[in-house]
Amino acid sequence: MNKLKFILSFCLILSFLQRIGAQPSTTIIMNGTIHIGNGEVIENGVLVMEQGKIVQVGKTLSSLYKTAKVIDAKNKHVYPGLIAMNNIMGLNEIDAVRATHDYNEDGTMNPNVRSLIAFNTDSKILPTALFNGVLFTQPIPLGGTISGSSSLMKTKGWNWEDAVMKADEGIHLNWPIVENNKPDEENRGEKGIEEINNFFAEAYQYLQQSNPTFNARLSAMAGVFSGEKNLYVHANEAKSIVRAITFFKQKYPAIKLILVGAQEAYLVSEIIKSNKVPVVLGNIHRLPAHNADGIDQPYQTPGQLAKLGIIFALSQEGSWEVRNLAYLAGTAAAYGLNKEEALKAITLTPAKIMGVDQQIGSIEIGKDASIIISEGDLLDMKSSSIYMVFLNGEALDLKNEQVLLYEKYLKKYKID
């Protein structure tokens, strides 16, 4: 009897493996409007994915495939997977429940804190972002002066080891706000800048030693001074932006400085441009920073930076709000930014900032086949409707808790 069970089990497994082997390993998307992500658009284009990579993209099919799966994308749009920078998705579940918050540590100087190992792939929020085309996210630590390091993660994975795209790609620093009309000795902002100065000097000297006594905080700064890791400086006020740029360009010019938030970047854009500092703009769906500004100033800022040639990405802070990333780009496109440039600000530019543009960020041969098919304009809240999503060539199930609830109550209250 045991031998018979073994034979039957073996036959079932063999049959299953044969069926898997018979499945086509190539997927062809045809007749869609392909938005490359670098500004180029291909009408009625062809995209071929094989073994998780993009192997063809263009107007015509250059090779024939006998067993390929063909997807007709007529009247649909094809985009690269969206990249959400500067958020706490995966580190926060319920705003009102403190026990679900895992984005803040005690202390002021914590470069050794890693958001990577706290990333929760079982979060109920991640599928809602995936449902709107966000395939990659940069969960960042918050709090203190130096919050810790961020990593680039996939929004779909078994665990953080499975989800990681690039580990510990940058350190996050919150630049202090200098208070006006206060002497330096009483000014908390000036004291904070002095603490930053002392910490960076200590870390620089520590890393110059050949065999120093291990220090977790100082060791975590390795790669920052050489530019191998990004230094993300969170600063919104114009004065803070200028102080931060001046400080690092004078003292540590090799550091790869990235401005984050930058609400008032439009006021000091020439300084940002002359120092070639990339910007990760915070949420533009907000009120202006000053009463004297136009009500639409936050919407106009991306276009103003683009006209000056400043490299910038768009980001949506928070956790559940990240699903709206594409609509930020849509708003920017309605206020002076070219639509393909707006798409670039949530795809290729974030990939370049984080150093993964050879893998993701655009639909080009050799890159990961992580793409979106939309039945409408992805950047338009009214017409956007995700049809299919592929992560490394694998079609993903877009069902999530909110979709299931919608379907449940749609049936409950359906009127015959």
In Å, how far are 36, 85, 416 from 348, measured between CA atoms? 9, 12, 48
pLDDT digits (tens), the chain, 416 positions = 566 655 655 555 545 444 444 446 899 999 999 999 999 999 999 999 999 999 999 998 877 777 889 999 999 999 999 999 999 999 999 988 888 888 998 899 999 999 999 999 999 999 999 999 999 999 999 999 999 999 999 999 999 999 999 999 999 999 999 877 666 666 788 899 999 999 999 999 999 998 899 999 999 999 999 999 999 999 999 999 999 999 999 999 999 999 999 999 999 999 999 999 999 999 999 999 899 999 999 999 999 999 999 999 999 999 999 999 999 999 999 999 999 999 999 999 999 999 999 999 999 999 999 999 999 999 999 999 999 999 999 999 888 888 888 888 888 876 65
Q: How many angstroms from the chain centroid is the CA of residue 391?
A: 15
Residue 99 phi, psi (nearest 5): -65, -20
- Taking the C-alpha atoms of residue 71 and residue 64, their distance in angstroms, rounded to an integer, is 15
Confidence (pLDDT) at 120:
96
First to last CA, the chain: 55
pLDDT at position 17: 42
Residues 6+ apart with CB under 8 A from 113: 105, 141, 147, 148, 149
Whether the CB-CB separation of 11 and 319 falls below 8 Å is answered with no
* Residue 9, pLDDT score: 57
pLDDT (0 to 100) of residue 180: 72
What pTM, to 2 d.p., does this model score? Answer: 0.90
Helices (H), 106-187: 126-130, 160-163
- Structural domains in the chain? 23-81+361-416 (2.30.40.10), 82-360 (3.20.20.140)
The Cα–Cα gap between 190 and 75 comes to: 57
Q: Count of alpha carbons within 13 Å of 172, Cβ hemisphere only?
A: 28
